[in-house]
Amino acid sequence: MPLERADAARRAIRRLDESEANRIAAGEVVERPASVAKELVENALDAGARAILVEAEGGGIDRLVVADDGDGIPREELALAVERHATSKLVRAQDGGLDLLDIATLGFRGEALPSIGAVARLAIASEARGAGAAFRIAVEAGRAEPVAPAARAQGPGTRVEVADLFFATPARLKFLKSPRAEAMALADAVRRLAMAHPRTAFRLVMDGRRLLDLPAVEAEGEAEALAARLAAVLGRTFSENAVPLNAARAIAPFGEARLRGLAGLPTAARGAPTHQFLFVNGRPVRDKLLQGAVRGAYADFLARDRHPEVALFLDLDPRFVDVNVHPAKTEVRFRDAGIIRGLIVSGLRHALAEAGHRASTTVAGAALGRFRAEGATPAGLPGLGLGDPRLGYARPLAPVTSEPGFAAAGLDEHAGDAAFDGAPPAGAEAHASAAEEAPPLGFARAQLHETYILAEAADGLVLVDQHAAHERLVYERMKRALAASGIARQVLLIPEIVELEEGAARALLARAGELEELGLLVEPFGSGALVVREVPAMLGPLDVQGLVRDLADEVVDLDAALSLKERLQEVAGNMACRSSVRAGRVLKIDEMNALLREMEATPHSGQCNHGRPTYVKLARADIEKLFGRR
Ligand code: ADP
Ligand code: MG
């Protein structure tokens, strides 16, 4: 049934007045306190702030303040700043037109301040550089007051205060989550911006508690600065369990696109994609294309429901990317998405290959934690930190100093004795390995439960899941063979005929070419059946029927977001699983040692095809601590 209008007569078209238009625009730009904070912090960054203070009360719904020491707004522009479609950030080209594709600032639409003013109580006090005096303007539910002198006179900068968000649009207020949930989202938004702008000091105070206190990083190189800020924001656990990444690709005629950051080890993956931080030219984004590329890069290592932790910074000529496709500017569009996807996938894969057989230290930490008496601090194990020279990050990290000071910039919060709870977790120092000659995974000493290999290394004890490890090795071997010359195939003496559902058979045969590359030769055999003539030689004897049925299932519900190649690699992973050493098989010491040596020599061997660790290494020093010997 069609919705009935109050009165049936058609109404004439009427132009919305400014405050109505602003309220509608606000619906897109100002979704919740976190989006207000994001817009205001972006404005501060665009104004060249060296220090930014964010204060929030009641999840940012009751009150939100963003203060900066940037260029400020001149008195005569204050009224314009809160008007819709008024911005200082778009520069007219010589022909008088606007170049919307050459945007170097975070803002450009002139919508944030009027939108906020339309739905809340907004007050802006600002001192423009060189003005020597401050002025203020207030807007309530869309009505602006005249500009007036302000008390603030502590040097250039701007202080924006937003109170009673959505008081003017009670319907929207109902869509907010609890103040606690809004506070978390707000902190997340500030943290993301802070990650991408290491040269600016950030302080976040919520309900009087200082949640974030990040000094401006003074390291010389951009990569170093980024690394220092990431470590400060994300903590040691993340940086210890991630590999640095630095890759570039030509995007002619726009120079090159560069990808920097940290790629979390697959064994440190999480159940939700909450720890994926993606940035394009300093702008935090949640872009499907970028997320898909990350998925694709890890498809080889992770089960479908596991999500890697990554912090990726993509920097490229603004003309190659359109940021004007989403109201909150969190999605972007690239001129050539394929190049960018390729850069991300290959950059991540390369970085992960560099990790060799490393599994994450969190695995050992968790294992030790189980043993440890309550109350003891969890120990870290040696890991590849941010200081790793592979990224060109300096070692040790350049010192950070808190300059410019918040007090000096007139950005003191009223928090007073707020507790500082953003301190890095107290971790154990890295333990140097005792003997250089002994292999990292040590020598096999015993097989336990016919499933685990116990090995003794110079600096600790290693426990290997023989099935998981072997499966990964077979898989890596297959990939190498595939890359080199295509997988060697073995002709079946008697071809196997496999009966399938009509559709499944067709779907599988449609991919016969790619299957052949993987060493499996299938041909049609009447309707609903196919014949397998050759199989990958490296798999040895195998259950052809079962394999083809599995493949058919997988091809039928192929995830459209992943490319076929990635999925077939996953299928190859399953092939590897079928042919690998089962748990429950007795191994000789020589066989066990061979497995250990191959793991050391094989990239990605620290995790199985589903992202679970293939081994745990307990450092000798930690074991000693466990027994109170240290
Ligand atoms: P946009 O950022 O898209 O230009 P906004 O509504 O966020 O639109 O801001 C309008 C204008 O107000 C900006 O173009 C800028 O000139 C000025 N402005 C806003 N916030 C600040 C700030 N913190 N410091 C200096 N200028 C600011
Ligand atoms: Mg803005």
Q: Which of these, 214, 207, 157, lies nearest to 186 by C-alpha position?
A: 207
User: How many angstroms separate the alpha carbon of residue 606 from the centre of ligand 1?
Assistant: 49
pLDDT of residue 61: 96
The length of the chain, given as a count of residues: 630
Name which of 52-61, 67-76, 441-450, 567-576 the model is least confident about.
Answer: 567-576
Name which of 69-73, 190-194, 387-391, 508-512 the model is least confident about.
Answer: 387-391
Residue 613 binned pLDDT confidence (cut-offs 50, 70, 90): confident
Which residue's CA is the nearest one to ligand 1's atom 17? 81
Calculate the average pLDDT of the chain. 80
**Amino acid (one-letter) located at 117:** G
Each as own residue / partner, the long-range contacts of residues 408-412 (CB below 8 Å, 24 or more positions apart, any chain) are 409/50, 409/51, 409/69, 409/154, 409/155, 409/157, 410/67, 410/69, 410/152, 410/154, 410/155, 410/157, 411/51, 411/52, 411/53, 411/67, 411/68, 411/69, 411/157, 411/203
Residue 98 binned pLDDT confidence (cut-offs 50, 70, 90): low
Q: Which ligand is nearest to the CA of 44?
A: 1
User: How many angstroms separate the alpha carbon of residue 80 from the centre of ligand 1?
Assistant: 10
Question: pLDDT digit string (tens) for 196-211?
Answer: 999 999 999 999 999 9
User: How many angstroms separate the alpha carbon of residue 43 from the centre of ligand 1?
Assistant: 5
Residue 401 binned pLDDT confidence (cut-offs 50, 70, 90): very low
pLDDT of residue 100: 67
Q: Is the pLDDT of residue 403 over 70?
A: no
Which atom, in ligand 1's list, is nearest to the CA of 109? 3
In this structure, are residues 325 and 334 in contact, taking their beta carbons and an 8 Å threshold? Answer: no
pLDDT of residue 33: 97
Order of all β-strands in the sheet with 242-250: 242-250, 256-264, 310-315, 276-280, 283-285
Residue 220 binned pLDDT confidence (cut-offs 50, 70, 90): confident
Burial class (CB in 10 A: 0-12, 13-18, 19+), 523: exposed
Residue 418 binned pLDDT confidence (cut-offs 50, 70, 90): very low
Question: pLDDT digit string (tens) for 523-533?
Answer: 999 888 999 99
In the predicted model, what is the mean pLDDT of residues 558-576? 53
Ligand 1 mutation target, pool 75, 77, 87, most atoms within 8 A of CB: 87
Whole-angstrom distance, CA of residue 88 vs CA of residue 91:
8
In this structure, are residues 500 and 553 in contact, taking their beta carbons and an 8 Å threshold? Answer: no
Which residue's CA is the nearest one to ligand 1's atom 16? 88
User: How many angstroms separate the alpha carbon of residue 112 from the centre of ligand 1?
Assistant: 8
Question: pLDDT digit string (tens) for 236-281?
Answer: 788 888 888 999 999 989 999 999 999 998 888 888 888 899 999 9
Q: Is the pLDDT of residue 380 over 50?
A: no
The encoded tokens of residue 276 equal: 């994926």
Q: Is the pLDDT of residue 506 over 90?
A: no
Residue 6 binned pLDDT confidence (cut-offs 50, 70, 90): low
In the predicted model, what is the mean pLDDT of residues 143-159? 88
Percentage of the chain beyond pLDDT 70 is 80
CB 73 less than 6 A from any atom of ligand 1: yes
Query: Which of 5-14, 19-28, 515-524 has the largest mean confidence?
Result: 515-524
Secondary structure class of 465 (helix, strand, coil): strand
pLDDT of residue 404: 47
Question: Which helix (H) or strand (E) segment is 225 a member of?
Answer: helix 222-234
Looking at per-residue pLDDT, the higher value among 419 and 234 belongs to 234
CB 113 less than 6 A from any atom of ligand 1: yes
